[in-house]
Amino acid sequence: MPIRRYLVLMLLSIITLVIFVSAIQGYKASMRKAESVFDNELVSLAQVITAVQLPKGVITHQTTSNFAYQIVLANQVVTRSDNAPNRLINALNTGFKESNFLGKRWRTYTNKITNNSATNAWVIIAQPLKQRFDLAEGIILSAVTPIILVMPLLALIISLAVRQGLKPLTFLTRALRNKKANDLSPLTISSSTELAPVIETLNELFLRLSLSFEREKQFASDAAHELRTPLSVLKINVYNLQQSFNNVIIADSDKRATPLLLLPFQQLEQSVERMAHVVDQILTLNRTNPEQILAESAVLNLQVLLQACISELYPYIASRGHNIELNSAPLNILGNRFAIGILLKNLIANAAKYTPDNGKILVSCRQEKNKLILRVEDSGPGIAAAEYARVFDRFYRVGGDSHNSKVIGCGLGLSIVKHIVELHQANISLSRSKALSGLCVKIVFLAAENNSCINASANKLPSSKSKGDYS
């Protein structure tokens, strides 16, 4: 629950509770006061009646009186008001009592008449209890009603006061919401005394994060760049050493031992290639950061990017004897050109690497409503369904380093692909290809608003065995 709503509701609840308790206490006090006042009134009225010589019989009043009275002589009612019964209202004992007659509950006062020549003369005065209750309720309602009527205005005033008190917090929230993903600069907003430590702590946190990100970025970039030079030198030295060794063993009469002697050089060359691949992937992963993606996003033609990627990889695809086909219309997405290029390159390169020679690769892209669906399918062995979630983990390879395909890899390709997919708020899933029986990688992008939605005929690239234009 928002703090503002919580404070308003809490203050209103407290005020309502206080008013309710005050009303209960006021009701009790009013009842006691009204009882005292009316009891005094009964005593005064009894004194007036005893001081006046009233005729015997029933005395009729023009209007219904709020009082009833009886004058009793020798236990007989000799004088009464027209709203009093013929029988005694209550026993002849001096003091206050409560009695029922005429369907009402009455408060009575009984007193002996001392100034009458007759002996055993009494006066009984009665008043309905409802009158007392009505008076007390009227007093309470008169006191509480204005407060109840002013409650909406009170709620508005409290809400405005709370809003004004929380305005520094609102400014802080707005400043944090307006910050971009790559903006770790300190906050420079005026704040209250209570929020000053919070803003100071946030600025210290931003500074630590900025320094940490900068160190991480610098380390990854420096490590990848610095490793490339010795790796290149190492590859050249391995090649030169292998050539020198070949020249030495040419004259060897035992030709059968030559493959065994060259095996360590081949393993060393593969290890160097794997290290170079890891360095390239780490550098690529370092470049696909959220700040760069958000800063360099643009509307991209996915068909053109696919054609460029296939053209770049086509020499390797042709060397494996694969037949690759592209089915796509000129559809647009919003994304980072470099990141989407890395994504497409990894997917198509993986399909070419892990598909046995003379296989098939199908790349398709189509639009469904406001979504673009990209599929990369191959005729390779695919991946077991149990491994679908694991292959997106960093440095994880199916079968470990001794992969069945003997392809050099480090387990970062699909991890980078998923990272780029998440940066573009897309979805990726793996399944078995229905067309080629291998692996099918499906990515669902949001279409750009200015997508032309052209339902053009599918563009097909020539087979790797042909010599036509494949761009």
Domain boundaries, the chain: 3-152, 196-282, 293-446
The DSSP annotation for 66-89 comes to: S-EEEEEETTEEEEEETTS-SS-S
Long-range contacts from 172-177, C-beta under 8 angstroms, 24+ separation: 172/198, 172/199, 176/202
Calpha distance 63→183 (Å, rounded): 87
Residue 65, C-beta contacts closer than 8 angstroms, at least 6 positions apart: 81, 83
Tokens describing residue 275: 């290290």
pLDDT in tens, the chain (471 residues): 677 778 888 888 888 888 788 878 877 777 788 788 888 888 888 888 777 777 777 776 655 567 888 888 888 888 888 888 888 888 888 888 888 888 888 889 888 887 655 567 888 888 888 877 787 777 777 777 887 788 888 888 888 888 777 777 778 888 888 877 667 788 877 766 777 888 888 888 888 888 887 777 777 667 666 776 777 777 787 777 777 776 666 555 455 555 555 566 666 776 777 677 667 766 666 666 666 666 668 889 999 999 999 998 999 999 999 999 999 888 898 888 888 888 999 899 989 988 998 999 999 999 988 899 999 999 988 888 888 888 888 777 776 554 555 565 666 778 888 888 888 889 999 999 998 989 999 999 988 764 443 333 333 333 333 333 332
pTM: 0.47
Q: How far is CA 4 from CA 150, 195, 246, in A?
A: 21, 16, 82
Domain 3-152, what fold?
Beta-Lactamase (3.30.450)
Minimal CA–CA distance to 184: which of 208, 202, 210, 204?
210
Paired with 298 in beta bridges are 335
Tokens describing residue 442: 């499906």
Domain 293-446, what fold?
Heat Shock Protein 90 (3.30.565)
H/E segment holding residue 427: strand 427-432
pLDDT score of 174: 81
Calpha distance 102→237 (Å, rounded): 124
Calpha distance 468→164 (Å, rounded): 73
CB atoms within 10 A of CB 114: 7
Calpha distance 280→224 (Å, rounded): 7
pLDDT score of 453: 37
Tokens describing residue 278: 């890891």
